[in-house]
Amino acid sequence: MTFGNRLRAAMDDRGPLCAGIDPHPSLLAEWGLADSVDGLERFALAAAEALAPVVAAVKPQSAFFERFGSRGIGVLERVLEVSREAGAVVVLDVKRGDIGSTAQGYADAYLDPRSPLAADAITASPYLGFGSLTPMLDTARTHGAGVFVLALTSNKEGPEVQWARGADGASVAGHVLSELRRLNAGQPGLGSFGAVVGATIGGDPADRGEDLAINGPLLVPGFGAQGGTVDDLRRIFGSVRHQVLASSSRAILRAGPDGTALADAARRTAEEMGGMLG
């Protein structure tokens, strides 16, 4: 089964929520844990064990594991394993972007099932040119994995690049979305190549000619603690809201460290999103 169809089945079964696993130092402190490898391990595994059985997808943020070096990466490998065994689709948030053999190296690390860091999908940056992602896209296609490409992000610096227009009048984000639409064309069900579109982006993408109908999933961070609301999801996504995989991290993780409370927070969030996005 392709990544897109696996994700569609998971969203239909568990709701359209992607639970972020972000072992930020401030969250470790809120859980009463030290900012150490031990604290990282206790936090991340507890989150994965509580959330992965109840949500469609989990999204570990690689940076918070990488900062502890090889031991942190070892914890990330265990989080990936635990999450997959619990039935969640795993989106590894790495935002990689490079060229040639280096891009292929990233693809082999994160998308080849023989790698201990393999996930169902990764996030990727297209700002060395969309074609620079070809090794990742081809490797994902070979192994039935997925790639979420940054298109319209919520950070305040994003518009200076993403809203910029080329000689053809199209915005950079519009070009990214057009390429994803091309890659997903003709795919049965949900395509495997998605876009990252923030829940708190300013303005209306349609007013800028940015068509979000890409026949692929739309990973939407920023819901919850970062300010994204149900009304924002309605405003931005409209007729393509059934393709939205909305991501929430801090708003759910702050319910911990109790596993039951974490799972309940995720279920409530998924139900709220499902009622709007269905």
Cβ atoms of residues 10 and 57 within 8 Å: yes
Pairwise pLDDT comparison (8 vs 277), residue with the higher score: 8
CA 228 – CA 260 distance, rounded (Å) = 25
Alpha carbon 276 to chain centroid, angstroms: 20
Cβ atoms of residues 131 and 176 within 8 Å: no
Whether cis (ω within 30° of 0) applies to the bond prior to 257 is yes
% of the chain surpassing 70 pLDDT? 97
Cβ atoms of residues 213 and 189 within 8 Å: no
Cβ atoms of residues 77 and 108 within 8 Å: no
Task: Based on the residue annotation, tell me whether 156 is a catalytic residue of this protein.
Answer: no
Query: For 162-208, what is each residue's pLDDT tens digit?
Result: 999 999 999 999 999 999 999 999 999 999 999 999 988 878 898 88
Q: Which helix (H) or strand (E) holds 51?
A: helix 37-51
CA 181 – CA 149 distance, rounded (Å) = 12
CA 120 – CA 132 distance, rounded (Å) = 20
Sequence-distant (6+) residues with CB within 8 A of 20 are 58, 59, 60, 61, 93, 221, 247, 248, 249, 250, 252, 253
Query: For 79-116, what is each residue's pLDDT tens digit?
Result: 999 999 999 999 999 999 999 999 999 999 999 999 99
User: pTM of this prediction?
Assistant: 0.96
How many beta carbons lie within 10 A of that of residue 55, not counting itself? Answer: 29
Which of these is catalytic: 78, 84, 95, 242? 95
CA 105 – CA 108 distance, rounded (Å) = 5
- Give the pLDDT of residue 194: 98
Measuring CA to CA, which residue among 259, 252, 191 is closest to residue 58?
252
Query: For 105-161, what is each residue's pLDDT tens digit?
Result: 999 999 999 999 999 999 999 999 999 999 999 999 999 999 999 999 989 899 999
pLDDT at 277 over 90: no
Per DSSP, the residues of 161-184 read HHT-B-TTS-BHHHHHHHHHHHHH
Alpha carbon 201 to chain centroid, angstroms: 16
